[in-house]
Structure formats: structure tokens, C-alpha cells
Amino acid sequence: MTDTTMRDFKSDPIVHTPSPSLPPPSSSVGVIGWMRRNLFSSPINTLLTVLGLYLIYLIVPPLFNWAFWNADLAGDSREFCDSGGACWVFVKIRLTQFLYGFYPEAERWRPNLAIGLGLVALVYCLIDGVPWRKWVALFLLVLYPFVTYFLLSGGVFDMPLVETSKWGGLLLTIVIAVTGIVFSFPIGILLALGRRSNMPVVRMLCVGFIEFVRAVPLISVLFMSLVILPLFLPEGVTFDQLLRALIGVTLFSAAYTAETVRGGLQAIPRGQYEAADAMGLSYWKSMRLIVLPQALKVVIPALVSGSIGLFKDTTLVLIIGLTDLLAMVQLAAADTGWIGYVKEGYVFAAALFFVFCFGMSRYSMYLERKLHTGHKR
């Protein structure tokens, strides 16, 4: 900022002391400076700022008033909803149904235990540098689904049988999402390996399956599991409605997982494959020990965002008659006592989904950063 012309050459041409720099003008530092830079740097920018503020004014205060300021939470019937805002009483009354569906009240400790167990194991796995981490992860991926299945359906150890038609709400959403994620993972890896195989028959099969499934919407796969699957089975063999949906969701998500994993496989330099061959490792050994550990590490963020997609897609099961979280909201809103309050239910379900998905996406970004530095080193 200081100008060279300010120097006085006559008085002392040898000693060279620049005068101290002036502070920047007050308009370019602090709050005002920040605002000038970020909000009012040009006439167009100023206009945009005003427009943006107006947009916020249009949306946020009414939303806040509706959701909090004018909302009702006390009471137990629609008569209590008279403030003109959101009627959270509806959500409060139906909360257990939104969470568990028609799961019998006395048995709700079982889903609680199953989900709690899963959460504890999951959080444990996400912490770096704890002992036994590998084993806990293995338990989570291999043993846990079966433990959960027996906990939820019962019929063993004095636990009464709870039919899958009674599972519902958030519980069912989580069951479908977790099953889809856990089971589609190995199938997806096999499909991806098959697609890169040098055996033409295997490759064609895998390409055909992956491309076919990725070309059609999930809902058509679900319809197929509902209408066509019974035709494919030998007579007398029938599947539970939930099981059919699970098969559809798993196969669907396996095709997407396969493409993600393939991306990872392609990112591994050819030298790694050749080195593994040179070591005399068999195909499966070289995949298990050399290629997959590297490939999967690269695609973990993409796998997490795939899981987010699957979690959101579970809502489609309502179209084939399963009562997931969204279907429970619709069912509850059809109750004569509560007609007209479906918006609150939707907002509640949206908030729940947002918490889950946003959490997962943040974790994936964290992973991306962490793995990135690891890669560069």
C-alpha cells in the first residue's frame, strides 16, 4: 500500500527506511470488509444479496412459526391442535407405530436390543485404533444379520414368534436397508470380478446382469419380485412378502455396488496384478490379498453414498404393500381422527431420513479426506 514516491531521496539516499505500512482501509477489514467482499462486491452481487435475503425472509420465518412457534405438542387428540401451526400431537401419538409398525408392545425390547447392538458395534468399528476392531467388524458383517433375524422374528429361546407382516415403521426401513447393504456387498464384488474376468462366458453374464438391472427402475424389480417370482418357483414353494422385497432390493443394489467396485479395480495399476501373478498367487489369493484391499479402500466413499441411495430407496417398498416408515405415516394419516395432518407426518419422516443420510454423507466425506492423505503419502 505504501507508495515509492513518498520516500525522501534528498535527506538520506543511503539509509533506506520505508515508512511503516498504513493499516488497510477500514472498509476492507472486519465485518464491513467481509460484507463488501462477499455480499456487495458489484451491483449484480448486491442485487443477488437482496434477492437471497428476501428469499430467506419468505421461507424461514413462516417455516419456523409453523414448525415451532405456533406448533402444538401437548394433548392427545386433534382438538389440541388449535394454534394454526404444525400439529406434532399427531406424530407424538403415533410415534411408536412410526418406529416399530405393528410390532407387539411387549416384545419391543427385541428390536431395541438388535438395533442397539448393531449401533454399538458400528460405532466401535468407526473409532480408529481400538483393539479387536477387525473381529467386531466381522461379527457385524457375518454373524449380526442372523442374530438380528432370530431376535426380531423370535420362535426360539422362549421368544414368541413375531411374523414379518407385523414388522413396520423405521424398524422395517432399517431392516431392509441393512440387509440390502450387507448382502449386496459380496454379490457386488463377485459381479465386479466377473465383469473383469477374462472368461468370456462369465464376463458376458455379469455385464448382462449389471446392465439390465441398472437400466430398469427399482420399482419394476420390486413388481417383478411380487408378480413374476411366484411363477418362477416350483409349485408350493412360497416366499414371505418381505423376503421377496429383500431379494429384489439386494439384487438391485448389488448391480450398483458392482459398478462402484469395478471403478476401484480399474484404479489399481496393472503392475499390482502382474506382481501378484509373479508371486505365484492363485487368482482368488491375489484378489483377496493384493487387489481387493486396495480397490475397496479407494471406493469406500462411493460405497457409502451408494448406501445412502439404497436407504432412501427403501421407501419404494410401500408400493408393494410393505409398511415401512413412510407407509406407516400414510396409514396413520388415513385414520379418521387425524385426516389432514399428513404433512406433519411427512416432515417428521423427512427429518428422520435427513438425519440418517446426512450423517452418512458427512462420514463419507471424512473418510474421503482421511483416505486421500493416506493415498498421497
Partner 1 sequence: MKFTGTFLAAAAALAVGGSAFAGTLDDVKARGQLICGVTTGLAGFAAPDDKGEWQGFDVDVCRAVAAGVFGDPKKVKFVPTTGQSRFPALQSGEVDMLARNTTWTFDRDVKLGFEFTGINFYDGQGFIVRKSLGIKSALELDGASVCVGTGSTTELNLGDFFTANNMSYTPVVYVTADEIRAGYLANRCDAYTTDRSGLAAQRSVFPNPDDHVVLPEVISKEPLGPLVRHGDHQWGDVVRWSLNVMIIAEEKGLTSANVDEKKASTNDPEVKRLLGVEGEYGARLGLSNEWAYNIIKTVGNYAETYERNIGPSTQIALERGVNALWTNGGILYAPPFR
Partner 2 sequence: MAVNAQDAAPKAALLYDAKFRSILYQIITLVLLIGFIAFLATNTISNLEKRGIATGFEFLKHPAGFGVPFSLIEYSEASSYGRAFVVSVLNTLFVSACGIVLATILGFILGVARLSPNWIIARIATVYVEVIRNVPLLLQILFWYVGVLSALPTLRESINIGDSIFLNNRGFYTPLPIAEPGFMAIPIAFLIGIIATSLVSRWAKKRQEATGEQFPVFLTGTGLIIGLPVLAAIVTGFPWTMEYPVLKGFNFRGGFVLIPEFAALLFALTLYTAAFIGEIVRAGIQAVSHGQTEAAHALGIRPRPTMRLVIIPQAMRVIVPPLTSQYLNLTKNSSLAAAVGYPDLVHMFTGTVLNQTGQALECIGMMMLVYLTISLSISAFMNWYNARIALVER
| Interface contacts to partner 2, rule CB under 8 A | 37-39, 41, 45, 48-49, 52-53, 55-56, 198-202, 205, 212, 214-220, 223-224, 227-228, 230-235, 308, 312-316, 318-319, 326, 330, 342-343, 346, 349-350, 353-354, 357-358, 361
Burial 272-282 (b: 16+ CB within 10 A, else e): ebeebeeeebe
Binds 190, which of partner 1, partner 2, none (CB < 5 to 8 A, cut-off by type)? partner 1
Which is closer to partner 2, CB of 114 or CB of 331? 331
| DSSP helix/strand/coil, 3 | coil
Helix axes 88-100, 169-195, angle to 10 degrees: 50
Contact 179, 145 (CB under 8 A): yes
Stretch that binds partner 1, among 59-67, 87-95, 233-241, 286-294 (CB under 8 A): 233-241
- Of 149 and 369, which has the nearer Cβ to partner 2? 369
Residue 211 touches partner 1, criterion: CB under 8 A? no
326 binds, among partner 1, partner 2, none (CB under 5 to 8 A by kind): partner 2
Collapsed DSSP state (helix, strand, coil) of residue 224: helix
- 238 part of the interface to partner 1, by CB under 8 A: yes
Chosen from partner 2, partner 1, none, partner binding at 163 (C-beta under 5 to 8 Å by type): partner 1
Shortest distance (Å) from residue 183 CB to partner 1: 8
Closest CA to 358 of 314, 300, 315, 311: 311
Q: How far is the CB of 350 from partner 2 (least distance, A)?
A: 5
350, 275 contact by CB (below 8 A):
no
| Length of the chain measured in residues | 377
* Rounded CA separation 47/42 (Å): 9
209 binds partner 1 (CB under 8 A): yes
DSSP characters over 305-340: HHHHHHHHHGGGGGGGT--BHHHHHHHHHTSGGGTT
The DSSP secondary-structure symbol of 26 reads G
Shortest CB 353 distance to partner 2, Å: 5
Residue type, 151: L
Binding region for partner 1 (CB under 8 A): 102, 104, 163, 165-166, 183, 187, 190-191, 205-206, 208-209, 226-227, 230-231, 233, 235-241, 243, 247, 250-251, 319-321, 330-331, 333-334, 336, 339-340, 342
